[in-house]
C-alpha cells in the first residue's frame, strides 16, 4: 500500500513516526517544502507526548535526554490560571489519586477544606514544592513518574524528522511543494509536485498541510463551526527572555486578559508568549496596546489568525486530515497536539493495518471517533471561561452566552454534587480528572456542597479517618518525602 504524507512539521513527522513503526509493511512518501519557513514560539503538551517519547505507546526508540537537548524542552506539571475570576489556581497535568474511582474522594476533601485543586494531585503538589518527576537528572529515562513538556514546536518537528530518517528505511522524503492533484469521486490518484515529479497509484493520503490545504479545497469535507462556544480567533505571539532561569516553574502561565487570555511558556532559557483574543471584541491595535500597557515588549511579534472548528468528514475518500488540517479549537490545554497523537494511535494501530482493499470502509468509524474526540474537548475548553468575570463585553459574552449544552449540564450538576466519572464522555480526551480540577479551581463546585457530599459518604461508609489521613499523607509525601529532583536543578543543568 502506498501512503503519502503531505506536509512535515510536528503533525507530518509524528504521522511518519507512528505509521512507519506501527504499520511498517507499506510504501511511505513524505512531501515537505524547505522553502516554507516557520518560527517556534513555544508550546505545551499533555502527558500523551511523554507517552510517545518514553515508549509507553510503542518503543519508537526515542530518548528523553535527547528530546530535551534537541527541542529546548522543559518539564510541565500543569497550568497556572491567573485572573480567571476572583482567584488563581493550578490545573495539574494529572488528576487526583481518586479521579478514576466512582467517588473522587481526594477532590472532595480538597474542596471541603478550601484547598486548591493542586493539593489533590501529585503533579500539582510537586509544582508547588518546586519538584519535578525525575529521580536523577543523569538518568531521565529511568523513571515513570508522569508529567508533560514545554518545548519549541519547530524543533520538535525537526527532532522527529531526524529520528525517523535515521531509524527507518521504509520512507522516502521529497522536498517540494504540491502543485496539483488528480481526484475522482473523492479518491486522489495522483499528486503533481512543483519539482515536476508525479506521485501516482496513491492508496492513502495523510494531509498535514493545514486547514487551507489543497486537499480540503478540492474535496468538500464540510465544516463544523465552534466559534459560538470558542470565539477567540487571533493571536499576537512573541518571545520574552527568561531573566532568572533558576526560578522557572514547571507550569504554563495562562493569564486572563480583557478579551481573551495570554500564555507564557518556559522554553529553554526564554518564554514563548501569546495573547489569544477574539477579533469580534477587540482589534489588533487594541490587543497590542493592552500587552504594552502590561509591560510586554512586542517589538518583535507576529499576528496569527485561526478559526475554531473541525471538518465534518476528517477522513473522506482516501484522504485523512491530520493535525491542523482536520481542525483546531484554540491553544488552551494543549488539545491540538494531544488530538493529533490520539488520532494517530487510532489510525496506525487499528486502521492502516487492515487489508488495503477494504481501507475505505474504515472511514465512517474513524470519523465517529475523531469527531467525538474534538467535540468533547470543546466542552472542556469552554468550561474554563465560566468564571465570575463580567468586566468586559468579551467576558460577559463568555459567561452568559457561550456555554455548550454539556457545560450547562455539568454546572447544574455541581449545584448538588461533584460530578462522577460517568457524567463525562472522554473519547481519549478530558474526563473526570481534568474536569473536576477546573470545576474546583473556578469555584463552580462550592465548598459547602463538597463538604455536604463528603459527610454523606463518611456516614454511609464510615471511612472518614482513612480518607482524611490518606489526603494528608499524600501532601506530606510529595512535598517533603519523595526523592525527586528540583526544577531549579533541572534548569541550571540544561539552560543555566
Cα angle, residue 415 at apex, residues 413 and 416 outer, rounded to 5°: 75
Beta 171-175 vs 27-32: how paired, if at all? parallel
Cα(429)–Cα(339) distance, integer angstroms = 8
Cα(165)–Cα(161) distance, integer angstroms = 6
Handedness of CA 95, 100, 105, 108 (dihedral sign): positive
Name the DSSP class of 300: S
Burial tier of 483 (Cβ tally within 10 Å: 0-12, 13-18, 19+): exposed
Cα(161)–Cα(45) distance, integer angstroms = 19
Q: How much is the CA Rg of the chain, to the nearest whole Å?
A: 23
Burial tier of 336 (Cβ tally within 10 Å: 0-12, 13-18, 19+): buried
Cα(268)–Cα(278) distance, integer angstroms = 29
Cα(158)–Cα(173) distance, integer angstroms = 13
pLDDT tens digits along 247-276: 999 999 999 999 999 999 999 999 999 999
Name the DSSP class of 360: G
Closest CA to 165 of 12, 40, 344, 36: 12
Cα(282)–Cα(53) distance, integer angstroms = 40
What is the separation of C-alpha 129 from the centre of its chain, rounded to a whole number of angstroms?
A: 24
- What SS3 class is residue 254? strand
Per-residue pLDDT of the chain (496 residues; tens, 9 = 90+): 999 999 999 999 999 999 999 999 999 999 999 987 665 556 999 999 999 999 999 999 999 999 999 999 999 999 999 999 888 999 999 989 998 888 999 999 999 999 999 999 999 999 999 999 999 888 776 677 899 999 999 999 999 999 999 999 999 999 999 999 999 999 999 999 999 999 999 999 999 999 999 999 999 999 999 999 999 999 999 999 999 999 999 999 999 999 999 999 999 999 999 999 999 999 999 999 999 999 999 999 999 999 999 999 999 999 999 999 999 999 999 999 999 999 999 998 777 777 778 888 899 999 999 999 999 999 999 999 999 999 999 999 999 999 999 999 999 999 999 998 888 765 555 566 789 999 999 999 999 999 999 999 999 999 999 999 999 999 999 999 999 999 999 999 999 8
pLDDT at res. 496? 86
Cα(44)–Cα(243) distance, integer angstroms = 20
pLDDT at res. 299? 96
* DSSP annotation string for 364-431: HHHHHHHHHHHHHHHHHHHHTT-SS--SSHHHHHHHHT---HHHHHHHHHHTTSPPPGGGS--TTS--
pTM check: above 0.85? yes
Burial tier of 478 (Cβ tally within 10 Å: 0-12, 13-18, 19+): buried
Cα(359)–Cα(187) distance, integer angstroms = 12
pLDDT at res. 144? 74
Cα(413)–Cα(411) distance, integer angstroms = 5
**Cα first-last separation, the chain:** 48
Total Cβ atoms within 10 A of residue 149: 26
pLDDT at res. 433? 77
Name the residue with cell 470558542. Answer: 230
Amino acid at each position: 500500500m502506498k501512503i503519502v504524507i503531505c506536509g512535515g512539521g510536528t503533525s507530518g513527522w509524528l504521522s511518519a513516526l507512528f505509521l512507519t513503526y506501527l504499520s511498517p509493511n507499506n510504501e511511505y512518501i513524505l512531501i515537505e517544502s524547505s522553502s516554507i519557513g516557520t518560527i517556534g514560539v513555544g508550546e505545551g503538551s499533555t502527558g500523551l507526548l511523554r507517552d510517545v517519547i518514553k515508549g509507553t505507546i510503542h518503543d519508537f526508540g526515542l530518548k528523553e535526554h535527547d528530546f530535551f537537548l534537541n527541542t529546548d524542552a522543559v518539564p510541565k506539571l500543569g497550568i497556572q490560571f491567573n485572573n480567571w475570576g476572583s482567584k488563581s489556581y493550578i490545573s495539574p497535568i494529572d488528576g487526583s489519586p481518586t479521579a478514576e474511582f466512582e467517588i473522587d474522594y481526594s477532590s472532595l476533601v480538597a474542596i471541603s477544606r478550601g484547598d486548591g485543586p493542586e493539593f489533590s494531585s501529585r503533579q500539582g503538589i510537586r509544582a508547588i514544592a518546586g519538584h519535578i518527576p525525575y529521580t536523577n537528572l543523569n538518568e531521565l529515562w529511568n523513571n515513570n513518574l508522569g508529567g508533560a513538556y514545554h518545548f519549541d514546536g519547530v524543533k520538535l518537528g525537526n527532532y522527529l524528522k531526524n529520528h525517523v530518517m535515521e531509524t527507518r528505511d521504509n520512507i522516502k522524503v521529497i522536498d517540494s511543494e504540491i502543485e496539483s492533484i488528480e481526484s475522482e469521486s473523492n479518491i486522489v490518484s495522483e499528486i503533481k509536485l512543483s519539482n515536476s515529479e508525479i506521485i501516482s497509484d496513491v492508496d492513502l493520503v495523510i494531509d498535514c498541510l493545514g486547514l487551507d490545504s489543497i486537499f480540503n479545497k478540492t474535496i468538500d469535507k464540510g465544516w463544523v463551526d465552534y466559534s459560538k462556544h470558542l470565539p477567540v480567533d487571533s493571536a499576537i505571539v512573541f518571545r520574552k527572555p527568561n531573566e532568572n532561569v533558576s526560578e522557572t516553574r514547571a507550569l504554563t502561565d495562562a493569564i486572563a486578559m480583557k478579551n481573551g487570555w495570554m500564555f507564557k511558556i518556559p522554553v529553554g532559557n526564554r518564554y514563548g508568549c501569546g495573547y489569544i483574543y477574539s477579533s469580534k471584541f477587540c482589534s489588533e491595535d487594541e490587543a497590542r496596546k493592552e500587552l504594552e500597557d502590561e509591560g510586554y515588549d512586542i517589538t518583535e511579534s507576529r499576528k496569527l489568525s485561526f478559526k475554531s472548528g473541525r471538518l465534518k468528514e476528517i477522513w473522506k475518500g482516501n484522504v485523512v486530515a491530520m493535525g491542523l488540517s482536520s481542525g483546531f479549537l484554540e491553544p488552551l490545554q494543549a488539545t491540538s497536539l494531544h488530538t493529533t497523537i490520539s488520532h494517530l494511535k487510532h489510525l496506525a494501530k487499528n486502521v492502516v493495518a487492515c487489508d488495503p482493499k477494504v481501507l475505505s470502509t474504515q472511514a465512517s468509524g474513524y470519523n465517529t471517533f475523531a469527531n467525538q474526540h474534538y467535540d468533547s474537548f470543546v466542552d472542556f475548553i469552554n468550561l474554563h471561561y465560566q468564571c465570575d468575570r463580567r468586566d468586559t463585553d468579551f467576558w460577559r459574552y463568555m459567561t452568559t452566552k457561550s456555554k455548550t449544552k454539556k457545560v450547562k449540564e455539568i454546572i447544574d450538576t455541581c449545584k448538588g454534587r461533584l460530578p462522577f466519572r460517568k457524567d463525562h464522555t472522554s473519547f481519549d480526551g478530558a474526563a473526570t480528572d481534568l474536569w473536576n480540577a477546573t470545576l474546583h479551581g473556578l469555584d463552580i463546585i462550592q465548598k459547602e456542597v463538597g463538604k455536604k457530599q463528603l459527610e454523606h459518604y463518611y456516614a454511609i461508609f464510615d471511612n472518614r479517618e482513612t480518607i482524611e489521613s490518606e489526603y494528608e499523607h499524600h501532601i506530606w509525601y510529595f512535598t517533603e518525602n519523595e526523592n525527586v529532583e528540583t526544577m531549579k536543578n533541572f534548569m541550571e543543568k540544561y539552560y543555566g
